[in-house]
Structure 1
Amino acid sequence: LRWSASLPLRNYSGAKANERSDSRQKPTTVALTMAMCLRRALQSRSLLLLRAPRCVVALSPSSCVSPRDPALEEASVLGIRGGFFRVGSDYSLGSRRGFAKGKKSKDDNNDEKIQVDPNFGPTVKSTSLSQMEAAIVALSRELSKLRTGRASAGMLDHILVETGGAKMPLNHVAVVSVIDSKTLSVTPYDPTALKAVESAIISSPLGLNPTPDGQRLIAAIPPLTKENMQALCKVVTKSSEDVKQSIRRARQKAQDSIKKVAAGFPKDDIKRLEKEV
């Protein structure tokens, strides 16, 4: 704009350019005309014109520009108010289009490093092993309760006896002993609970029919029928599947714990630990 102040004014509206211009024309008219041309050029590209003021030139009423001059109308559109126009400004072009925010990396969100226990490996293995062993012990208890055609002292432990308004396991209220391979003896700690123990054994799915013998009960183990054997196989299959699921859950928990601290161990150690689990 400073350079254009020394040049003759030309008509940029599409008419024929004037060969000569008034040499006495003021710099403000040239600046206004150049601003109008800049706006027309940038308007078609949807660009934003930014101005940083350096110096100010006042437009007085005695200016050579007429009130209806197109330059003044254009200046009013450009934001020139109060009779002032900023000359010698730094013009920068910025697009109206915005840009999407970049995604944060994982390192930005997780600046803190995970503190790893040096005894993490043995701890994970011992915890998972104890859970797996507990599942196996539970399976052995369930299998010991099944009637296999042979008398067993633990086959009556799961029976609940109602005494004193509460239900308790039979092994808490009576002593079960094996007389022979086909006969069991049940002796209650409290002789008054003999009837309650007898009714609990009869109502159990074992199919036993005990008979009173003084202060104890004698229960004969009947032979297994085909229907009883099929029902027994279904119970064993279900119990074994439950134990398998328990062992798988214990192993999955251990593997998840290993993956959480994998960044603090060498890859070879992590692979070996996962294989051991």
Structure 2
Amino acid sequence: MINEIKKDAESRMKKSLDALHANFNKIRTGRAHTSILDSVMVDYYGAQMPINQVASVNVEDARTLSVVPWEKSMVPKVEKAIMTSDLGLNPATAGSVIRVPMPMLTEETRKGYIKQARSEAENARVAVRNVRRDANGDIKALLKEKEISEDEEHRGVEDIQKLTDKYIAEIDKLLEAKEHDLMQV
């Protein structure tokens, strides 16, 4: 029973870490990478579709993405979707290829992105701690119903704490790497 609680807690903590990865990918570092455009939605014949389902997105060089829509008629719609996204990018079209240059980050923007990264990391830590609280509550409920002994409850709480420490350390490591990435010129 305690093992099921631990497995559930670990899978939920892993999901928090995965969500942090996704959020960190949305914070641009000045270098071009295709996941920057993952959140861009394009109007495709009346339906909103992710950009990677209507065009191929490739890294042209360190500071430029190239987007090639599958259909020539989609070029203006894809370009408009990139422009109206909240990413602050200005695409340039040459025929059927849309080039998206990554603007240089100023010191002020870097600090803003670091603040955003720290906020995302803190949200992930809070999520992990909430999972710990829920798991500990489940273990204490088992003790209250006399389904486990106090020793088993104590071991279960310790194991959940070790799991929490492991995932919080992982979050801190990811944050440190993202901050280092953002501060590189």
- TM bucket normalised to smaller: 0.7 to 0.9
Runs of 4+ in 1 over 4 A off after TM superposition: none
How many Å apart are 1:274 and its aligned residue? 0.7
Size of the aligned set, in residue pairs, is 158
1:138 equivalent among 19, 35, 38: 19
Mapped to 2, the partners of 1:239 and 1:141 lie a distance apart of: 10
CA positional deviation for 1:195:
0.9
Which structure carries more helix by proportion? 2
- Amino acid aligned to 2:2: G
Shift of 1:153: 1.1
Task: Determine helix, strand or coil for the equivalent of 2:39.
Answer: coil
- How far apart are the structure 1 equivalents of 2:70 and 2:137? 49
Work out the CA distance in 2 between the residues paired with 1:247 and 1:190. Answer: 44
Counterparts of 1:1-277 in structure 2, within 5 Å, are 120-262=1-143, 263-277=146-160
Q: CA deviation at 1:158?
A: 0.9
Deviations, residues 10-42 of structure 1 (Å, cap 9, x unaligned): xxxxxxxxxxxxxxxxxxxxxxxxxxxxxxxxx
What amino acid is aligned across from residue 151 of structure 2 in structure 1?
D
Question: Which residue identity does 2:152 align to in structure 1?
Answer: D
Whole-Å separation in 2 of the counterparts to 1:200 and 1:272:
53
Identity %: 34
In 2, the alpha carbon distance for the partners of 1:166 and 1:177 equals 23
Q: Distance in 2 between matches of 1:190 and 1:133?
A: 38
Q: Report the Cα offset of residue 147 of structure 1.
A: 1.4
How far, CA to CA, are the matches of 1:154 and 1:146 in structure 2? 10
Q: Secondary structure at the match of 1:150?
A: coil
- Higher deviation after alignment, 185-194 or 121-130: 185-194
TM superposition score normalised by structure 2: 0.80
TM-score normalised by length of structure 1: 0.54
Per-residue deviation, 1:217: 0.6
Residue aligning to 1:33: none
Question: Which amino acid in 1 is paired with 2:37?
Answer: L
Higher relative contact order (CA 8 A, sep 6+): 2
CA root-mean-square deviation = 1.4
* Structure 1: gaps spanning 5 or more residues: 1-119
